[in-house]
Chains A and B, each alone.
Chain A
Amino acid sequence: MRVIIDLIKYLSMNKKLWLLPAILTIIILGGLIVLSQGSVVAPFLYTLF
């Protein structure tokens, strides 16, 4: 929860609140992917991590 509050604060400060719905959807979707995969292995790509 603290992360979500911090994220909202950050988006608000940077005038990017319009991204909030997309971010929340993505976090939920990401959560579902995590649950379906079981473990998370990071592939290495310069720009993603």
Chain B
Amino acid sequence: MSKILGISCFFHDSAAAYIQEGKIVNAFQEERFSRIKHDDAFPKFSILKILEINKLKLNDFDAIVFYEKPFQKFVRLIETYVKNAPKGFTSFKAAIPIWVKEKLYMKKMIYQNLSKIDKIIDKKIFFSEHHLSHAASSFYPSPFTKAAVLVVDGVGEWATTSLWLGENKKIRKLKQINFPDSLGLLYSSFTQYLGFKVNSGEYKLMGLAPYGKPIYKNLIYKKLIKIYDDSSYSLNIKYFDFETGLSMINNKFQNLFGQATRKSDTEKLNKFHADVAASIQQVTEEIYFKILNKLYEDTKCNNLCISGGVALNCVANGKIKQKTKFKNIWIQPASGDAGCSIGAALAFYYKYSANSRKVVPSDSMQGSYLGNEYSEKEIKNILNKVGAVYEEIDGIDNTVKKISKLLAQGNSIGWFQGKMEFGPRALGNRSILADPRNPYMQKKLNLKIKFRESFRPFAPSILEEQVSNYFDYEGQSSYMLMVARVRKELLINKKLKIKDTDIIDQINNIRSKIPAITHIDYSARLHTVSKKTNLIYYKLLEEFFKITGFPILINTSFNIRGEPIVESPHDAFNCFMGTNLDYLVCGNYLLKKSNQKNEINIDYKNKFKLD
């Protein structure tokens, strides 16, 4: 049992991962190749890339493991319809045909899709339970021999929240909460209510929360969710539609808050929306910590691993050490379903392999740089092909010197280096970078480069040794999954007069010496950079520190709203030409926008749907 392919697809964020002898070799998200955000298609391009890079054939794999068990999911659907009948016929009519026609024959579907790529025998296809895939994706790559593991997401087969204990190569479920009681679905219901897209707009809700006050918290506890002493919870399902309808919430939910669901295209965000966001964020955090405290009580283990979509709530993650007794925390960077491709393969490997588990002291995600890499020659060929005008810089040391100067001068730069990141965050290999000291940079990046809402915060990358000099934080946050406050000494309190109706304009207040990464509540989503995992980016931050006295850069994903992060130099060039980015760096090649031929300019903004 040495080579395993993990697959997650047919729901959202399709991905494929290759595990060899328990080591994660590659992991790819299909959206990066297909250029369709959250692409749910069979990850054909990802698998082809794995085969190409590793010179493998499909039959070289000992097992191909799918990330969930379709039969269990189907039975959950049926039980739910039987329980609620005759209510739910609309939902039934929508869901059942797709199950009867396709999803029930998942093994056959996977086999057929694989057969289009290469020869394969169907006996090699296996299935892993959804929450086990999540739990395995966080425990096995973690730096812990023993750890308590929490999985919180919308729903898998039945489980919506599950608690595990991992020790060496074994992982054991302690407890689970089942559908329809779901913290993830509760958060997604509010996401929909505030006019954001379910399953992709949750982080917008999180970003909006600091603008408001949690004045609806008690109402949520009174009417929507009940918490029990053992940390389990139940939803008051009469306010929700997801069990039997085609929406997350119903009219009762809207009446409870006194306003209809926000129409994102016509209705501006206001104080009410911010207050609702703040309320659900606080409720989520309180339940999250209650579950974690119970998990600690049950396991008495100081190490914690987390995964599942709710684990991407970095605001809550940032408070775990204050609110619980856990001393060491590790969160899977691809905590959504894409990461299940890794987890499914690892769970299978450790169940059937005789080998013991090798724990890597940092972790075994390798900085999440698990994707494709382009050589200097390949980059040059692509740039020539697209007609780019570029300067070739001699060596990476000169590149970082030049780029750090350009950044300090106020330029926004598309930065393309090394292996693609796996997971939703750009971690300094496919990033847009800028100077966090610039008070206009947040607005410029949001409106002119990312073409997205002005209230959205940006994250800082910082040299890992210096993090506690600038933020109230000790240790690493290598995967941008922890939020911490900017240190008091750096804060500035210059408040603009703002009307209640223009609450979002608060973002224009100057709050610190690094305003572009200081959110409205003086917090920042940290990305600590280590020379062990990303030497080039580390050197760039060091050079920027020499020039400016700040070892910090704005780091946002290299894409516009609704677009998957760029994968290739070609994607990077397209995004560069379609936005107001000042420069693009691919390897050691530097492109200045004003030097490019005008006719290459692209109407980029309209190519991608709002997410």
What's the minimum C-beta distance from A1 to chain B, rounded to whole angstroms? 11
Bound form: Cα–Cα A43–B241 in Å: 15
B257 within 8 A of A: no
B75 within 8 A of A: yes
B198 within 8 A of A: yes
What's the minimum C-beta distance from A24 to chain B, rounded to whole angstroms? 10
Q: Please indicate the chain A residues that have their CB under 8 angstroms from the CB of B185 in the complex.
A: 46-47
What's the minimum C-beta distance from B72 to chain A, rounded to whole angstroms? 8
Bound form: Cα–Cα A10–B107 in Å: 15
The answer, among B11, B75, B93, B96, for a CB contact under 8 Å with A16, is B75
Bound form: Cα–Cα A47–B247 in Å: 10
Q: Choose among A16, A44, A47 the residue with the greatest number of B CB atoms under 10 Å from its CB.
A: A47
Q: Which bucket holds chain B's interface residue count?
A: 35 or more
Contact count A vs B, C-beta below 8 Å:
83
Q: Are B199 and A46 in contact (CB under 8 A)?
A: yes
What's the minimum C-beta distance from B325 to chain A, rounded to whole angstroms? 33
Q: Are B78 and A49 in contact (CB under 8 A)?
A: no
Within 8 A of A (CB), among B46-81: 71-72, 74-75, 77-79, 81
Q: Which of B97-105, B291-299, B508-516, B528-536 lies at the binding interface?
A: B97-105
Q: Please indicate the chain A residues that have their CB under 8 angstroms from the CB of B77 in the complex.
A: 48
The answer, among A14, A30, A47, for a CB contact under 8 Å with B99, is A30
Q: Choose among A3, A46, A49 the residue with the greatest number of B CB atoms under 10 Å from its CB.
A: A46
The answer, among B71, B100, B105, B155, for a CB contact under 8 Å with A34, is B100
Q: Are B179 and A30 in contact (CB under 8 A)?
A: no
The answer, among A3, A19, A42, A47, for a CB contact under 8 Å with B82, is A19
The 8 A CB mask of A30-46 against B (1 = contact, 0 = none) is 11011001001011111
The answer, among A26, A29, A40, for a CB contact under 8 Å with B102, is A40
Q: Please indicate the chain B residues that have their CB under 8 angstroms from the CB of A22 in the complex.
A: 78, 82
With contacts A3-B105, A16-B75, A49-B95 taken as known, whether A43 is within 8 angstroms of B188 at the C-beta atoms is no
Q: Please indicate the chain A residues that have their CB under 8 angstroms from the CB of B94 in the complex.
A: 42-43, 45, 48
Q: Are A26 and B78 in contact (CB under 8 A)?
A: yes
Q: Are B104 and A3 in contact (CB under 8 A)?
A: yes
B91 within 8 A of A: yes
What's the minimum C-beta distance from A43 to chain B, rounded to whole angstroms? 5
The answer, among B75, B79, B188, B242, for a CB contact under 8 Å with A10, is B75
Bound form: Cα–Cα A6–B103 in Å: 14
What's the minimum C-beta distance from A12 to chain B, rounded to whole angstroms? 12
Q: Please indicate the chain B residues that have their CB under 8 angstroms from the CB of A10 in the complex.
A: 71-72, 75
Q: Are A26 and B96 in contact (CB under 8 A)?
A: yes
Q: Please indicate the chain B residues that have their CB under 8 angstroms from the CB of A31 in the complex.
A: 100
Q: Which residue of B lies closest to A34 (CB)?
A: B97
Q: Please indicate the chain B residues that have their CB under 8 angstroms from the CB of A46 in the complex.
A: 154-155, 185, 188, 198-199, 242, 248
Q: Please indicate the chain B residues that have their CB under 8 angstroms from the CB of A43 in the complex.
A: 94, 246
The answer, among A29, A33, A37, A47, for a CB contact under 8 Å with B154, is A47
B243 within 8 A of A: yes
Q: Are A47 and B10 in contact (CB under 8 A)?
A: no
With contacts A6-B71, A47-B179, A49-B11 taken as known, whether A42 is within 8 angstroms of B98 at the C-beta atoms is yes
Bound form: Cα–Cα A31–B101 in Å: 7
Q: Please indicate the chain A residues that have their CB under 8 angstroms from the CB of B74 in the complex.
A: 7, 23
What's the minimum C-beta distance from B186 to chain A, rounded to whole angstroms? 11
Bound form: Cα–Cα A48–B242 in Å: 8
Q: Are A23 and B78 in contact (CB under 8 A)?
A: yes
With contacts A30-B99, A34-B97, A40-B101 taken as known, whether A47 is within 8 angstroms of B246 at the C-beta atoms is no
Bound form: Cα–Cα A40–B92 in Å: 13
Q: Please indicate the chain A residues that have their CB under 8 angstroms from the CB of B101 in the complex.
A: 30, 34, 40
Q: Are A49 and B10 in contact (CB under 8 A)?
A: yes
What's the minimum C-beta distance from A25 to chain B, rounded to whole angstroms? 10
Q: Please indicate the chain A residues that have their CB under 8 angstroms from the CB of B104 in the complex.
A: 3, 7, 27
Q: Are A48 and B199 in contact (CB under 8 A)?
A: no
Q: Are B155 and A33 in contact (CB under 8 A)?
A: no
Bound form: Cα–Cα A6–B185 in Å: 30
What's the minimum C-beta distance from B160 to chain A, rounded to whole angstroms? 10
Bound form: Cα–Cα A30–B100 in Å: 6
Q: Please indicate the chain A residues that have their CB under 8 angstroms from the CB of B105 in the complex.
A: 3
Within 8 A of A (CB), among B288-316: none
The 8 A CB mask of B234-259 against A (1 = contact, 0 = none) is 00000000110011100000000000
Q: Are A30 and B75 in contact (CB under 8 A)?
A: no
Q: Which residue of A lies closest to B198 (CB)?
A: A46
Q: Please indicate the chain B residues that have their CB under 8 angstroms from the CB of A44 in the complex.
A: 198-199
Q: Are A29 and B246 in contact (CB under 8 A)?
A: no
Q: Please indicate the chain B residues that have their CB under 8 angstroms from the CB of A34 in the complex.
A: 97, 100-101
Q: Please indicate the chain B residues that have their CB under 8 angstroms from the CB of A40 in the complex.
A: 97-98, 101-102
Bound form: Cα–Cα A42–B180 in Å: 21
With contacts A45-B246, A46-B188 taken as known, whether A33 is within 8 angstroms of B97 at the C-beta atoms is yes
With contacts A47-B179, A47-B242, A48-B91 taken as known, whether A27 is within 8 angstroms of B100 at the C-beta atoms is yes
Bound form: Cα–Cα A33–B10 in Å: 21
What's the minimum C-beta distance from B99 to chain A, rounded to whole angstroms? 7
Q: Which residue of B lies closest to A37 (CB)?
A: B97
Bound form: Cα–Cα A37–B96 in Å: 12
27 A–B contacts from the bound complex (CB under 8 Å): A3-B105, A7-B104, A16-B75, A19-B75, A19-B79, A22-B78, A22-B82, A23-B78, A26-B78, A30-B96, A30-B99, A33-B93, A33-B96, A34-B97, A34-B100, A37-B97, A45-B91, A46-B155, A46-B198, A46-B199, A46-B242, A47-B154, A47-B155, A47-B242, A48-B94, A49-B10, A49-B95
- 5 nearest A-B residue pairs (beta carbon): A30-B100, A30-B96, A48-B95, A34-B97, A40-B97
Which of A's residues lie within 8 Å of B, judged by CB?
Answer: 3, 6-7, 10-11, 14, 16, 19, 22-23, 26-27, 29-31, 33-34, 37, 40, 42-49
